[in-house]
Amino acid sequence: MKPLSVVVTSVCDLFAWFMIVFGVYVINNGHNTPGGGFQGGAIVATFLSFMLVAYGGKRFWAWVHEGVYGFLEFVGLVAFFVFGCLGFPNSFFYNSVSIPEGGKVLSEWLPYSGTISLMNVAVGFEVVGALSLVVIYMYGSLRMIDTGAGMGGERGHDRFDR
């Protein structure tokens, strides 16, 4: 896939990092504000497809590491299951970390919502890994078929294919 013009790459340089920061904000404040792990993870995973469209296949493969996203997926799923198992004397997915007793919150070192916010972070990791891996796998198979010769790019004002 060819890179797009200098306009798109400049916009990618400017705004891709804000997208990641905003996604992490949505994940981290999932227990207070609208959003949460799934939505924030989708926002963060948009970065990879944005990078692919703007900078093209060569920069994409130089930049991306599949193992990182697989590790994120693994860590997210296992952490989600472990946080669910934490409440097992009572029930599966019982919020055992931060149950207030008489108006007083136990264990001040954890966030106020207890396992809810921790599960938000775990699901955020999982969604980031899964959606990024979907983009990587699909574009990888596309490269094998087409070798990226005639794809992408902008006709007329493309500075990379002169």
User: Any contact of residue 107 with other proteins (CB under 8 A)?
Assistant: no
| Contact window for other proteins (CB under 8 A) among 17-25, 27-35, 47-55, 150-158 | 27-35
User: What residues form DSSP beta bridges with 105?
Assistant: 100
User: Any contact of residue 52 with other proteins (CB under 8 A)?
Assistant: no
Task: Say if residues 115 and 96 touch (Cβ distance below 8 Å).
Answer: yes
Window 28 to 47, contacts with other proteins (CB under 8 A): 30-34, 36, 38
Nearest-angstrom CA–CA distance, 137 and 152: 18
Nearest-angstrom CA–CA distance, 152 and 125: 30
What are the phi and psi torsion angles at 132 (to 5°)?
-65, -40
Report, in Å, the least distance between residue 137 CB and other proteins.
4
The Cα diameter of the chain in Å comes to 72
Nearest-angstrom CA–CA distance, 127 and 25: 15
| Cβ proximity to other proteins, 10 vs 141, nearer residue | 141
Interface residue list for other proteins (CB under 8 A): 30-34, 36, 38, 73, 76-77, 80-81, 84, 92-95, 98-100, 105, 112-116, 119-120, 123, 126-127, 130, 133-134, 137-138, 140-142, 144-145
